[in-house]
Chain A
Amino acid sequence: MKRILSSVRDGRGFDIALVAFPLIFLFVMAGLPLIYNVVMSFQEVDMFSLGTFSRPFVGFKNYTDLFALPETWPILRNTAIFVIGSIAGQFLIGFGLALFFWVNFPGASWLRGLFLVSWVMPGLVVGAIWNWILSGDFGVLNFILKESGIISGNIFWRSDPHYSLYAVIIANVWLGTAFNMILLSVGLSSIPGDLYEAAELDGANAWQRFWTITLPMMRSTIGAIVALGLIFTLQQFDLFAAITSGGPNNSSNVTQYWAWDLSFRQYDFAKGATISVIMIVFVMIASVVYVRSTRHEVRG
């Protein structure tokens, strides 16, 4: 007892406690559900066995059953397109806006603040609004495209299997751009100004300055944004629920929406868990890539 007390007083035990509490917290709040999820993917689970732990183990049956379904590969492909398309769109537009506001014209910070409105809005509200904008017969987007002569007939964004996934991507890009812009703005403002002065004296043009100073200095910010973007797009659910419900015929279905549909609409909790496990694997691969890509970074 005395030893423990003294160890707390001399600081060593305190250090351990400081590390232990968050670790225990993390394990209970994130680790256990994760393990539970993996275990569930190897069991047969239905509505009534959800409350108990004694469920029959079925090995890899959930996995083999899942990959035997005709919709599995298209949905995985949709997920990849959705993630890549959303991140690319959010990042490029966000970076463009961040660079634009970096010029710091009068009222720039005000305008930049206004852009945050889209980030503050709940996903379901954004989904409902885009649902109207993208509606085929009376949607605003079709009206604009038609009036400006880009298309001649209405595009049924939500109901045409060729467009439905892109309809959700457009809405998601709109939703995430502001967040990207703010983080990139922070990154930009942390680049010391004298670097640019020196480069200018050496005769570097705007493009060269961007390529050799801005981008390398932004490397960690960009890495963080892409990693966060991956997480945010993989958990994007509201927009699918509000705009297409994954339809028509799964053409805009993605793993996260499918997992929900299997678990809570068809009550096949084991398959829902199986898809979640597959998603976890993808996120882990992505995070390993992210950590490795920023490992050699020079800080400070």
Chain B
Amino acid sequence: MAIRKFAVLGALALAGVSLFGLSAKAEDVTISVWSLDRDIQPAPNLVKDFNKLNNGIKVEYRQIQFDDVVSEAMRAYSTGQAPDIIAVDNPEHALFSSRGAFLDLTDMISKSTVVKPENYFPGPLKSVMWDGKYYGVPKATNTIALYYNKDMFKAKGLDPNKPPKTWDELVEDARKLTDPAKNVYGLAFSAKANEEGTFQFLPWAQMGGGGYENINADGAVKALETWKTIMDEKLASPDSLTRGQWDSTGTFNSGNAAMAISGPWELDRMMKEAKFDWGVTLLPVPKEGAERSSAMGDFNWAIFASSKHPDEAFKVLEFFASQDDKMFKNYGQLPARSDITIPATGEALKDDALKVFIEQLKYAKPRGPHPQWPKISKAIQDAIQAALTGQMSPKDALDQAADKIKAVLG
């Protein structure tokens, strides 16, 4: 008897809930969001916060894997099942916008009181643009700078407050800091044959006056020659050729490299692992006073052109953008905005580093934008690797890359 009572109660409760759910669904517009963020990263939490507003728009979140973002999105789009909103890696943004897969947001942005182009860093903003129009909103951003071990600088008689400013100084300091007997390399960076290699090399080429359109400019050749000097003299581990940035920086944290080129995503790990005094400085330039540049990473938000509720989707993006000021505090990511001052965390090392990264972000340039970016990037990676393994001279390698890129650009 008692059991039956409970069953009836349970059924009633279930019916109530589902009725409630149905009625909620009937009026709500559902917006689906795909991104690669895990539960401790922004997207799922922002979605949760948005759904709490109960403003007639319900957001559904789906996490996808980094390697699957493009192929999954492309498959979904071509079969008409694309989500309303997606986060894509910034060099891949142009691939979709150039083919009309992403919605042109120019008009919406011009009317918006939240998303204002002038508030964004120029680099991230450029990555969402195609043909002078806006096809997305930068989600977050990051860049690379030079980490250095102040204790090692002191031990080798270098001024710990004068990190290298130019390429020559960097090589010179690396020579002094390299100590094979102690298993210490002067520098750690990544020249891996994937996007990470391009990410690390392109700023050097750009500082030398090159770029993906003229990758064999004299300054870019000089940049690759500098890299080759570093590799040839074993100032950096030969494994830099096959190691990603995360593993390379790990050798810095464990005291096996005196300097490392890496990004702000390492700060939390470094605070925990690095048992020495360290600092961050801007990427060295070819010579005093030369133009600066830096890599620009992280993802962009975009709305698919196939979305049935573009206005509601844009409202969701506006909400995401309105939360940018909490990005660093809550998730350790840098907002792509120049109008936001990030409050101090109270940890001196981290706060000092943050200042450098914010400064460096002003010089960050996007990769591309070009719809064929992966092929361009591959040509650059091949050139880096051919030169560093000694199979081609830096000049020849970059000439070959320039030819390949020319063929892609048409």
Contact = CB atoms under 8 A, between A and B. Distances in A.
Contacts of B238: 136, 156, 159-160
Interface residues of B, number: 34
B90 interface: no
Interface of A: 47-48, 50-52, 70-71, 135-138, 156, 158-161, 164, 243-251, 264-268
A47 B242 contact: no
Q: Which of B67, B70, B183, B239 has the most CB of A within 10 A?
A: B239
B330 interface: no
B112 interface: no
B71 A264 contact: yes
22 contacts: A47-B70, A48-B101, A51-B75, A51-B79, A52-B78, A137-B239, A137-B256, A156-B238, A158-B242, A160-B238, A160-B389, A243-B242, A246-B193, A247-B192, A247-B385, A248-B193, A248-B385, A264-B67, A264-B71, A265-B378, A267-B374, A268-B375
A61 to B, nearest CB: 14
B391 A247 contact: no
Nearest to B71: A264
Contact of A50 (B74, B256, B382): B74
Given A47-B95, A266-B378, A245 B194 contact: yes
A266 B95 contact: no
Interface string B61-98: 00000010011001101110000000000000001000
Contacts of B243: 159
A265 B95 contact: no
Given A50-B75, A247-B193, 12 more contacts: A48-B78, A51-B78, A70-B400, A135-B239, A138-B183, A156-B239, A164-B242, A245-B193, A249-B193, A264-B67, A264-B71, A266-B374
Given A264-B71, A265-B378, A266-B374, A247 B242 contact: yes
A277 B374 CA distance: 23
A159 B95 contact: no
Contacts of B78: 48, 50-52
Contacts of A248: 193, 241-242, 385, 388-389
Contacts, number: 89
B190 to A, nearest CB: 11
Interface of B: 67, 70-71, 74-75, 77-79, 95, 99, 101, 183, 192-194, 237-243, 251, 256, 374-375, 378, 382, 385-386, 388-389, 391, 400
Nearest to A49: B78
Nearest to B196: A245
Contacts of B251: 137
Nearest to B237: A137
Nearest to B383: A249
Contacts of A267: 70, 95, 374
Contacts of B183: 137-138
Contacts of A268: 375
Contacts of A138: 183, 256
A51 B75 CA distance: 7
A249 B74 CA distance: 29
A161 B391 contact: yes
Contacts of A136: 237-239
B242 A249 contact: no
A251 B194 contact: no
Contact of B239 (A47, A51, A158, A251): A158
A274 to B, nearest CB: 16
